[in-house]
């Protein structure tokens, strides 16, 4: 270090004597100073450089497939979606005549992870049943992602109106599932029923004698309405023989007026001799166990026989549509 300092002063004197510019002297002083520092303490470290951001490595095929496998594992077992179209037959608003038979077909897609088979079923959920069974097993197998057409034989109810029946699917464990964003919504059939002008009540005369009709027609009863079966009047002041009422337990029923007798006959339209031959009673008839279209035989307080058809039994809105015929003997 002493030798470098001595050399520095010698060179400085020489440059000054030679008349060199002061800037040169300053530059040499700086260079010699740096050399002195390097000799004493070693070379200074290189200046730090700003670290550049590194790019994440591309995921491998196995890593990329993990979210897909996880999503498949989380897919619900039981889930359906509407097919294209969902209404293969009888779209909403189809016009039918009273009593007209039809086949409703829905197209559904298995959007879950489980295979549908015969242990799955189509189940009536609410609204009008249209005379169909309340549960219909599926036929064959429907794998995940496949579509299936499900058909049900139905019959248009009596009474002009717009009717809707809601249906849903049932899994083997008894749980219900359907369509919609949450997979819980039912699908439906909605039709408009118009009056069949050509249909008339036909009474076949018995072999013994010609039967005449005293009263015949249709009526719509609401709760606490009365029907006079001799005159065909609703809420007549006198002579009422049939009442649409609620029992104390809340069950809808047909109550009988004074000296009126009645009994359920069945699905076939009875003749006068049929109603004369079956035992008639004076107990109320519960409606919850009866299906639309059932026939009931009666005897009025005047001793006249007839039949009543319960065309439509609506126990949600408490509406009862009936057709009645009261005979009078020859």
Closest to 305 (Cα-Cα) out of 203, 235, 222: 203
Architecture (CATH level 2) of domain 80-194: Sandwich (2.60)
- The domain limits of the chain are 80-194, 212-328
- Beta pairing partners, 265: none
* C-alpha pair distances (Å), 175 with each of 64, 122, 168, 170, 309: 35, 12, 10, 6, 36
Three-class DSSP category at 103: strand
Residue 25 has pLDDT above 50, yes or no: no
Q: What does the pLDDT read at residue 54?
A: 45
Q: What is the pTM of this model?
A: 0.41
Question: CA-CA distance, 221 to 320, in Å (whole number)?
Answer: 5
Tens of pLDDT, residue by residue over 169-228, are: 999 999 999 998 888 899 999 999 988 753 434 444 444 445 688 888 888 988 888 888
pLDDT band with cut points at 50, 70 and 90 for residue 289: confident
Calculate the dihedral angle through the C-alpha atoms of 12, 13, 17, 20, rounding to the nearest 10 degrees.
10
CB neighbourhood size of 20 (10 A): 13
Q: What does the pLDDT read at residue 70?
A: 43
């Amino acid at each position: 270090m002493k030798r470098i300092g001595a050399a520095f002063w010698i060179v400085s004197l020489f440059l000054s004597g030679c008349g060199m510019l002061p800037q040169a002297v300053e530059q040499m002083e700086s260079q010699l100073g740096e050399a002195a520092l390097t000799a004493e303490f070693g070379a200074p470290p290189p200046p730090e450089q700003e670290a550049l951001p590194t790019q994440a490595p591309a995921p491998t095929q196995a890593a990329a497939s993990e979210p897909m496998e996880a999503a498949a594992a989380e897919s619900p077992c039981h889930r359906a979606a509407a097919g294209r179209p969902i209404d293969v037959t009888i779209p909403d608003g189809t016009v039918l005549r009273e009593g007209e038979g039809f086949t409703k077909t829905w197209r559904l897609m298995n959007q879950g992870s489980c295979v549908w088979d015969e242990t799955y079923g189509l189940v009536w959920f609410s609204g009008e049943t249209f005379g169909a069974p309340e549960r219909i097993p599926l036929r064959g197998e429907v794998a995940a992602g496949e579509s299936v057409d499900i058909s049900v034989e139905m019959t248009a109810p009596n009474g002009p109106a717009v009717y809707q029946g809601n249906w849903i699917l049932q899994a083997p464990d008894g749980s219900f599932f359907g369509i919609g964003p949450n997979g819980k919504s039912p699908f439906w059939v909605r039709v408009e029923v118009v009056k069949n002008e050509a249909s008339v009540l036909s009474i076949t005369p018995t072999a013994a004698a010609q039967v005449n009709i005293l009263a015949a027609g249709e009526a719509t009863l609401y709760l606490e309405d009365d029907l006079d079966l001799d005159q065909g009047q609703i809420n007549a002041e006198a002579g009422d023989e049939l009442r649409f009422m609620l029992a104390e337990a809340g069950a809808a029923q047909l109550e009988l007026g004074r000296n009126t007798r009645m009994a359920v006959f069945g699905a076939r339209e009875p003749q006068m001799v049929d109603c004369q031959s079956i035992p008639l009673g004076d107990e109320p008839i519960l409606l919850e166990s009866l299906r639309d279209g059932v026939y009931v035989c009666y005897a009025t307080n005047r001793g006249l026989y007839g039949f009543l058809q319960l065309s439509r039994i609506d126990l949600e809105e408490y509406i009862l549509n009936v057709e009645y015929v009261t005979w009078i003997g020859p």
